[in-house]
Structure 1
């Protein structure tokens, strides 16, 4: 359990019974974000499905992948998070593929508490580097990650002409 900034969350490995609903929701949410970033609805959904299938080819049994239900201090589920351990250039790092706090629970410090809890989980694995992708339109997430010390490592720009 991580307690910082006055908020507490607990990360619990997702129950097998909840996996398919989490995956279906995650695919649609990622597709919605991709569509908001300029992809057609069809292409966004296709890319999102490919991302989840490619990232979790064995579902919950996919090695080096960690999917959690996020519980608040009252032990109510408030979201979910998924990260994977990857190796790049001979060094292991973690990458957060999905993190979502339910709409009704946003703005209460639970995103920050979740990020700190994820960092603690990654440290338990002996890993000292964690990354993630954030869509350009998601200014709230940008601000949160920057306040936690995350730095931009790549930037892609485009222009409609």
Structure 2
């Protein structure tokens, strides 16, 4: 667990600002047709992708921008909800409907979502920690463990 001193060392912007940033980022991607707002990960940096989900209650299609890195053929992200408590809606939607698509800067992939567990989760969390040195401090702001989400490739639907 992270000490109270480290907890105070990380500060999040106000929730309204986080939500505004998310909306703006999605709008930039939508208006530009994905030319702006999506980028590939580089060594020591994460990339951004656009994830499409099916609403667990509404059945409607939703899109969200996620940070990611690639682990072999899979895309790895965190269900962090801007480090606020509660699971992000996109993760709840994926738990109900795990087959979806992820749009990367150069391609759109059909994927199946799942939560990493055990040793796999520890390994992937460590990789995220290499990218974000304050990962543990941010995660300690949440009352529940942050899910490490793996988007495994699946065959194109026929």
> Normalized against structure 1, the TM-score is what?
0.29
The structure with the largest helix share of the pair is 1
